[in-house]
Structure formats: C-alpha cells, structure tokens
Amino acid sequence: MDSLSSQIIDQLRRSDRAIADLIAKEAERQETTLELIASENHVSPAVMHAMGTCLTNKYAEGYPGARYYGGCVYHDQIETIARDRAKQMFGCRFANVQPHSGAQANAAVFMALMEPGSTFASLVLKDGGHLSHGMKINFSGTYYKPVHYPLHYGVDHPRREQIDYDAVKAICREHKPKVLMCGYSAYPRVIDFKKFREAADECGALLVADVAHIAGLIVGGAHPSPFPHAHVVTTTTHKTLRGPRGGLILTDDEELAKKIDKAVFPGMQGGPLMHVIASKAVAFGECLQDSFKAYAAQVVTNARALAGALVERRYRITSGGTDNHLMLVDLRTRSDKLTGADAEKWLEAAGIICNKNGIPDDPRPPRVTSGVRLGTPAVTTRGLREQDMTTVAEFIDRVLAAGLEGESPLATTTATVREQVRDLCRKFPMPH
C-alpha cells in the first residue's frame, strides 16, 4: 500500500474504524496474493486517488457545455479530456465516457440501436459470451430477442472451440438481426472483426464489438482494433485498460453518437460519476504512454507462457491455446474428479485467486464447472514475466494435486504454497 493510501485509511479509521479496518485487510489481501482473475487488474495510485476527490460532491447531469446544473466548469474540462483521450486511444471520432459499467454501456447501445423485441445475434454465455449479450434473466434477454451463433464443437476440428464464422453468417441470414455482437468474456483467441462486419453487412445489421476484456490489448497494439469495422464499440475501463471500474462507448458515426448520448442520458442514467470519469481520464493518459504498449505485449506473452506450462502439467487449454490475456483450463485432463469450484476454493487458500468457469459444452452446471478461467493482466502489472509463469503453474498444479489426495495433504500443501506466494508477491510489489 502506498503512503497516501495508508494516510487515507488512518484518517478514515478516526471516523469509521470498522470500514477502515476492512479496507486495510483487503489491501493486505491484494498485496499478498496472485490475482489471476482475467477481468481484474491493479490500478496506479494516480488512478485510485483520482476517484477519492471532491468531484464526488457534484451533480453534472448532461454533457460538457450542456449541463442541467451550474458549477460544472471544471467537470466539463475533465470530461472533455477523458473523451479526447479515449478517441485518441482507439482512433475514433466519438466517445461517451459516462456509463457506470460495461453492462450499462451495452444497455445504452441496445436502447440506441434497437426497439424492444428486436432481434440481435451473439455468442451464448456458456461458450464465452456475457450476460448482457442475451442471458434470459438479463435486460438483454428480457427486452430483446437474442439468437446465438456457435463455436466449432468437433473434437478433431482444427478450430475446435473457436468462432465459426460461417455459422455467424448463416445465423444472420436466417434471422436478419438488427445488431450483430462480438467480443466476449471468456474467449482466448483473436477476433476477426472484418469477418464479422462482412456478416453484418450481408444481413443489414449493425456490428457492435464489446471489447471489455481486450480493450487494453487493442490500445497497446497486441490485438487488432475493431475500427473501422465495428459501427459501435463498448468496453469497460478496468480489466486490461487498467482504469477505474466503469464503461465506455465509442463510434465513428455521428448520427449513432447522438443516439448513444441520448440513450446514456437521460435514457439509462442520471448524473455521471465525475470522480470516476476523472479517474478514467488519468488511466487513459497512462494508456497513451509508450510503456503501455510494452505492458500489453507482456500480458499476452505471460498468458501464452502460463498456458504452455499448464499443458506440460497435463491440463487442456480450450481452443488449443491463447492469443490474448486469458485462458480457459479444462481440469478434466488432469483428473476427471477435479471441478472448477474445488479448484477455485483450494487455490484461494493458497493465495492464488481465480474463478471457476464453464468450458464450451461443459457437462457440469455453472456453480460447479469443469474449468477455471485464468488471466495475466494483474500479475503482469506487478512485473511478473514469462519465466515466473512456470512458477505460478507449478503452484497451481501442486495445490490441485494435493486436493485430489485428500484434506490432510491439501492443508499442508496450501500452507506451504501460501508462504511461497507471499514471498513472490514481496518480490513483485503492487503499483506504488
């Protein structure tokens, strides 16, 4: 924890010891564990501290130059800087930096581009999509009509568990969706945005790319950009962008930009979180530095190294590997007794944080799963490199192997690995 954060916690402790103590414990947890959840990262002190400012005191409904409250002169300047930096990052003409989350950004885009009951096409959640891409109990599946394109499922298919672009076109021809979505929460391969645009154009759909997971890789040049192919791009601002928790919407189309702005406000939300927008601006400034390109490249290098080290230890990586920051690990090749739920619990006890995750065509239910999702954005932020991924893979395998042997071997191994993880974390401290 940096000195300013420590001072803030000390000040908070004077007025609310319970919350201050819990924040301090969480800081200690983060500092002493390896964060392998693919959707999480560690922000810089500058990004963190921008969120804890007097900007949280202000209502600023509307947009720069068109607010519904007075006293927004500096908020206008902050939001303008955030928008300009977002446009520069992605090489596009319009940016809305107000969405509170990636799911809310998607909701605003749906409202802007479709009417209730309209059909859209996406990848189903169980194969790596997102709940806001058509899950039945989500707004996207309640108020709109999702149809889904599949992955390649054949065991012997050379592109097993990768996007079936021919099937994308076939689904679009059959259902004539108003929107075609791509971009996923658990897909480890490069997305061919050009092929998606061809499918969208063929059926008259608008292409929306939800790049929440890979946005930082795109900005850093480690993954192809959705522009100029996508009509609209949505993303979170955390994950690989390494900013605060929030959303972002981008487009090159002026008319769509106007519809999106209206959908965000007043359509989806009231006052923007100006303290978070300021933090987004700080993060975007960091993304525009040359060092961020090196970071993005190292994230991918580390992911491939971790995947390779796990394959050597008899785990299967779905789709045969990874091209980005994440991988889905099929635990059944190590042992058919291993479940994602057990792996998540056992690894957390050893200081390795990940999440259980279904694999394509998973026979187990979502609360159990046959796999885990691992990602390298956070450990790369701490400075770990590809040689360290072998160590991490060894930790993972030792814990899971011990868990298969029983409670006593598991307890002994997790205690030992937990101390080794602490030692590794001391070697690679959090951003200061």
Better-predicted residue by pLDDT, 152 or 375: 375
Flag whether pLDDT at 78 surpasses 80. yes
Residues 268 and 301 in one domain: no
Residues 131 and 264 in one domain: yes
For residue range 30-48, list pLDDT tens digits in order. Answer: 999 999 999 999 999 999 9
Averaged pLDDT, 56-79: 97
315 assigned to some structural domain: yes
DSSP state of 430: P
What's the pLDDT at 115? 98
Q: How would residue 194 be classed by pLDDT, with cut points 50, 70 and 90?
A: very high
What's the pLDDT at 154? 75
164 three-state secondary structure: coil
Tokens of 390: 């072998």
3 assigned to some structural domain: no
- The answer to whether 193 touches 181, Cβ cutoff 8 Å, is no
Total domains, the chain: 2
Flag whether pLDDT at 156 surpasses 80. no
| CATH code of residue 315 | 3.90.1150.10
- The answer to whether 212 touches 193, Cβ cutoff 8 Å, is no
Residue with tokens 């998540």: 344
Residue where a domain stops, chosen among 235, 263, 287: 287
pLDDT above 70 covers what percent of the chain?
A: 100
Q: For residues 85 and 288, give the distance between their C-alpha atoms in angstroms, rounded to a whole number.
A: 8
Residues 132 and 73 in one domain: yes
Flag whether pLDDT at 5 surpasses 90. no
Beta-bridge mates of residue 250 = 95, 233
Residues 225 and 347 in one domain: no
355 assigned to some structural domain: yes
Instruction: Please give the angle made by the CA atoms of 92, 87 and 194, to the nearest 5 degrees.
Output: 35
Flag whether pLDDT at 1 surpasses 80. no
- The answer to whether 296 touches 325, Cβ cutoff 8 Å, is no
Q: Give Dmax (Cα) for the chain.
A: 66
Q: For residues 45 and 50, give the distance between their C-alpha atoms in angstroms, rounded to a whole number.
A: 8
**Of the candidates 253, 252, 219, 257, the residue with the CA atom closest to the CA atom of residue 235:** 219
Q: How would residue 2 be classed by pLDDT, with cut points 50, 70 and 90?
A: confident
Q: For residues 116 and 90, give the distance between their C-alpha atoms in angstroms, rounded to a whole number.
A: 30
274 three-state secondary structure: helix
Averaged pLDDT, 396-402: 98
- Contacts for 375 with CB less than 8 Å, ≥ 6 apart: 36, 37, 38, 39, 40, 303, 325, 326, 327
Range of the domain at 356: 294-427
What's the pLDDT at 367? 96
Q: For residues 372 and 392, give the distance between their C-alpha atoms in angstroms, rounded to a whole number.
A: 15
For the chain, how many residues are written?
432
Buried b (16+ CB within 10 A) or exposed e, 305-320: bbbbbbbebebbbbbe
Beta-bridge mates of residue 209 = 182, 233
| CATH code of residue 253 | 3.40.640.10
Beta-bridge mates of residue 249 = 96, 234
Q: For residues 372 and 52, give the distance between their C-alpha atoms in angstroms, rounded to a whole number.
A: 34
Q: Containing H/E element for 247? A: strand 247-251
What's the pLDDT at 124? 86
Residues 266 and 357 in one domain: no
Residues 167 and 301 in one domain: no
Flag whether pLDDT at 153 surpasses 90. no
**Of the candidates 231, 199, 224, 222, the residue with the CA atom closest to the CA atom of residue 298:** 222
Q: How buried is 100 (Cβ within 10 angstroms: 0-12 exposed, 13-18 middle, 19+ buried)?
A: middle
Averaged pLDDT, 174-184: 97
Residues 141 and 229 in one domain: yes
Tokens of 126: 């169980």
Q: For residues 25 and 277, give the distance between their C-alpha atoms in angstroms, rounded to a whole number.
A: 27
Better-predicted residue by pLDDT, 152 or 155: 152
Residues 332 and 217 in one domain: no
What's the pLDDT at 157? 84
48 assigned to some structural domain: no
Flag whether pLDDT at 128 surpasses 80. yes
**Of the candidates 214, 236, 244, the residue with the CA atom closest to the CA atom of residue 128:** 214
Beta-bridge mates of residue 146 = 120
Helices 340-349 and 407-427, axial angle in degrees (round to 10): 60
Cis peptide before 188 (omega within 30 of 0): no
What's the pLDDT at 14? 93
303 three-state secondary structure: helix
- The answer to whether 39 touches 50, Cβ cutoff 8 Å, is no
Q: For residues 392 and 228, give the distance between their C-alpha atoms in angstroms, rounded to a whole number.
A: 38
Which residues are marked as active site?
59, 61, 210, 236, 239, 245
| CA atoms within 13 Å, Cβ hemisphere of 240 | 31
Q: Distances from the Cα of 330 to the Cαs of 31, 93, 157, 349, in angstroms?
A: 28, 41, 17, 21
Residues 209 and 236 in one domain: yes
Residues 193 and 239 in one domain: yes
What's the pLDDT at 400? 98
Residues 77 and 203 in one domain: yes
To the nearest whole number, what is the mean pLDDT of the chain? 96
pTM value is 0.95
Q: For residues 429 and 432, give the distance between their C-alpha atoms in angstroms, rounded to a whole number.
A: 8
Flag whether pLDDT at 214 surpasses 80. yes
Residue with tokens 């046959």: 370
Flag whether pLDDT at 4 surpasses 80. no
Residue type, position 382, single letter? R
Tokens of 46: 């500058």
Residues 312 and 373 in one domain: yes
Q: For residues 114 and 109, give the distance between their C-alpha atoms in angstroms, rounded to a whole number.
A: 8
For residue range 240-276, list pLDDT tens digits in order. Answer: 999 999 999 999 999 999 999 999 999 999 999 999 9
